[in-house]
Amino acid sequence: MYRILVILICEDNRVRSAHTIVVQYFTKQGLQKLKDELHYLKTDKNKEIVKLIAEAAAFGDLKENSAYHDARDKMSFLRMRIAELEGAINEAVIKEKEETDGIQIGSEIVILFDGEKQNYQMVSPSEANILQNKISYHSPLGQRLMGKKIGDEFDFQAGNKKVKIKIIEVK
């Protein structure tokens, strides 16, 4: 994730506006996953929550109608998630795998983690899921792995334990 500062300057050299853009790198699959989630939220999920609000409002007195307030809260969370996804998609940069031996976004790797063989895929922060062996290039281990090649070794602090990491395979 990188921050880019954009400054617009008028002809008389006054700063008109300034804002920061947060660029996130994604794999094609990761970006598509976000787009699919956004589509689902804007269509199916939105309709579902609008229906819940209408049903709850039909019960009458809205001040003490917990179902109505719960449905409105769900709509607020939905809108926040939609805005979050739209921001990530608009500022996304697809990072294609380059022809290199080094670990990069999208690489599938096999490492020895303190002597134990483990498989991982290097992904963007929003794609990361340790249960699926997808680690973020932005995580402490991901940062140390980026650019490393087969045969490279390094020590890594995992919690309160120092472990040896060795790169076995990079695809």
For the chain, the domains span 2-94, 108-170
CB count within 10 Å of CB 21 equals 12
Which pLDDT value is given to residue 4?
Answer: 54
Task: Say whether pLDDT at 13 is over 80.
Answer: no
Task: Say whether pLDDT at 6 is over 80.
Answer: no
CB count within 10 Å of CB 129 equals 12
CB count within 10 Å of CB 122 equals 26
| Higher-scoring residue by pLDDT: 23, 108 | 108
Contact 117, 168 (CB under 8 A): yes
User: Tokens in use for 149?
Assistant: 């090649």
Question: Which whole number is the average pLDDT over 129-136?
Answer: 93
Q: Does 108-170 match 2-94 at the fold level?
A: no
Which pLDDT value is given to residue 103?
Answer: 93
Total-model pTM = 0.67
Question: Which whole number is the average pLDDT over 109-114?
Answer: 92
Which pLDDT value is given to residue 63?
Answer: 79
Give me the CATH code for the 2-94 domain, please.
1.10.287.180
Contact 86, 35 (CB under 8 A): no
> What fold, for 108-170?
Chitinase A; domain 3 (3.10.50)
Question: Which whole number is the average pLDDT over 80-93?
Answer: 89
Of the spans 2-6, 84-88, 147-151, which averages the highest pLDDT?
Answer: 147-151
Residue 17: band (very low, low, confident or very high) from pLDDT cuts 50, 70, 90: low
Which pLDDT value is given to residue 166?
Answer: 94
Which pLDDT value is given to residue 42?
Answer: 97
